[in-house]
Structure 1
Amino acid sequence: MRDATRHPLHDLHDAVIVGAGPAGLAAALMLGRTHRDVVVLDSGTYRNDPTDAMHNVLGFDGVEPAEFRAAAHRTLAAYDTVELRRTSAHDVAPLDPAAPADGFVVRTAEGDVAGRRLLLATGVRDELPATPGLAELFGTVAAHCPYCHGHEFSGTPVAILGAGPHAPRVAGLLERIASRVVVLADGADVDPQVREALDARGVAVRPERVLRLERTALADGHPGARAVLDGGEELLGGVMVAPALHQAAPFAARLGLELRDSGCVAVDAMARTSMPGVLAAGDLAHTADFPMPLASVTAAMAAGQLAAASIDSDLLTL
């Protein structure tokens, strides 16, 4: 991995990658292996910060996210054309607004860095419901993805917080994992179609408002949560929640990139955004072929690799 002192900040690099999660790191590796001159900007803040272990990642199942990043950094250190800068970006802009494909400048606390192509891999942030105690549990006893965290709740009662249209599908994913599934409607009305779908799966609905969630342990010592309701309580091995997703960085808005209804950046099959020269990969990006952004470490790595191939191919024509 290249020493930052070898190249002045004003050099026009082949690509600047904003974001050093799985998508950004995988893109850097792909570009490094083709000897592209790449700068990766790492803010030190990541979507999976709250979790104590990442799952469903071949070779890294159950590993702390920091350990995964450290392994990725060691891998990238072998490539002289890849530079990792531990700094936050605070603005991005085309070098020439009339010809954005000519290159981009990214402003950081340590100065400007410019590249012929820009890859946004800044991810999204999760906005949790305002349920007291939920934030303290999120990433361990509370989670948003049954594929990434459901197995850890095996054989325990699991609650779905909220009775929105997502609830029947999540219940279906959990029915082979949990000992029992219950939906906590939190005082909200339940759509009749949702109720019918839950009834068909034998899923109970607790209509009461959720006063708070508390960390506790089950009788067998398994980590758990107590949901204190307005009229009772539920002792749980896990809580599934559907956060609202927001762009973790303002750069898509500042560049005027097209967004999908999900709030994620619209990209085509090759990770290209609506602005020539700008690509996006990872949780913040959404192709039209999928009903939702693919939010997993493995999917982000694949998207980063694809974006890097797209960048390399594009630069061959210059």
Structure 2
Amino acid sequence: MAIPDSFQYDAVVIGGGPAGLQAALTLGRVHRRTLLLDAGSYRNDPAHHMHNFLAHDGTPPAELRAAARTDLARYDTVTVRDTAAASVGRDGDGFRVVVGDQEVTSRGLVLATGLRDTLPAVPGLGGLFGDVVAHCPFCHGHELAGTRVAVLGDPGHVGGLMGPVAASVEGVDPERVVRLERAADGLRVLFDDGTVEEYGGMFVATALSQAAPFAEQLGLAMLPSGCVSVDAMGRTSVAGVHAAGDMAHVPELPMPMASVLTAAASGLVAGAAMAAYLL
């Protein structure tokens, strides 16, 4: 069935990170009228380089996004706007997206707005996050090879993963930390008893929350992780709304597999599934 002319777009993709860019590319390659909205903020903004991505290991995230934009420019049915969506809602058989003082309509939505990381309340932590402080050993562990590595709290799973990489892995009680400071070869931890320890880097667990309100506005089913519940094809609980990237995962996973590569892969799946929905 053809898409009704009353809708301006076949699909609106909200989010210009790897998941949204790939979803838009996938839709563009089958000539679907697609609008990509990019608010210009990304979960990996604190990171200078991305890792564990085949052929892009060590590439600055901005370079990958720029290359993806160049790819999208080759597809006439894809429009990219550097602006944020303000709200989303139903519009008959489709959806309405408020963008500034305008509204656009589409048959379907792909949400790729990501997550927000809330750090533990430790002085100095924020300025080091994404550099010598990280949350993923797969993304940032190798760079700490051969150094003393701290884990804020119980080392647990992270400690096990870093065991073969680091010279040593030590748990640090956050209640004893006065502040963190940058050191020449990593970071310095100042404790409440006056002692100071230096480490090559530190891993922390962050609290996750949706970076945008659209899942709530659409009434999407959520998971205990705070992420949107999707099936294997990226379909949410609302027909015509798909989700990709860190903001969503299947119920079988305890949390999203937070990496640039998996985000892009989920964007491809969500984009392809959206193309099928539009049939």
Normalising by structure 1, we get a TM-score of 0.84
Structure 1: stretches of 5+ with no match in the other structure: 1-9, 97-101, 188-208, 219-223
Partners of 2:100 and 2:146 lie apart in 1 by 49
Whole-angstrom CA distance in 1 between matches of 2:108 and 2:265: 19
1:112-261 correspondence runs (5 A): 112-163=103-154, 167-187=155-175, 209-218=176-185, 224-231=186-193, 232-261=195-224
Task: Report if the CA contact (8 A) 1:87-1:110 is conserved.
Answer: no
- Between the aligned partners of 2:271 and 2:101, the Cα distance in structure 1 is 25
Instruction: Note the C-alpha offset of 1:315.
Output: 1.1
Larger radius of gyration: 1
Matched AA of 2:78: V
**In structure 2, C-alpha distance between the alignment counterparts of 1:263 and 1:229, rounded to whole Å:** 33
CA distance in 2, matches of 1:305, 1:110: 30
Q: Does the 8 Å contact 1:150/1:177 carry over to 2?
A: yes
SS of aligned partner of 1:89: coil
For 1:37, the aligned partner's letter is R
The aligned length equals: 273
Give SS of 1:126's match.
Answer: strand
CA contact (8 A) 1:89 1:107 kept: yes
How big is each residue's C-alpha offset from its partner over 1:1-39, in whole Å with a ceiling of 9 and x where there is no partner? Answer: xxxxxxxxx852110000010000011111111111100
Structure 2 unmatched runs, 5+: 1-5
**Does residue 1:43 correspond to 2:39, yes or no?**
yes
| Deviation readout 1:118-161 (Å, 9 max, x if unpaired) | 01100001000010000000000000100000111111111001
Residue matched to 2:53:
57
Which residue of structure 1 aligns with residue 3 of structure 2?
Answer: none
- C-alpha contact (below 8 Å) 2:122/2:174 kept by paired residues: no
After TM superposition, list the pairs within 5 Å mapping 1:7-86 onto structure 2: 11-86=7-82
Q: Which amino acid aligns with 2:172?
A: L
Residue type of the partner of 1:142?
Answer: V
Matched, 1:278 2:241: yes
Output the TM-score relative to the length of structure 2: 0.96
Matched, 1:90 2:53: no
- Indicate if the aligned counterparts of 2:39 and 2:85 stay in contact, CA closer than 8 A: yes
Task: Report the Cα offset of residue 110 of structure 1.
Answer: 5.3
Equivalent-residue separation in structure 1 for 2:54 and 2:167 (angstroms): 26
Determine the C-alpha separation between the residues in 2 that align with 1:270 and 1:247.
20
Distance 1:83 1:11 in 2: 15
Runs (4+) of structure 1 exceeding 4 A deviation are: none
User: How far 1:292 sits from its partner (Å)?
Assistant: 1.5
Counterpart residue number, 1:301: 264
RMSD between superposed Cα atoms in Å: 1.1
Identity %: 55
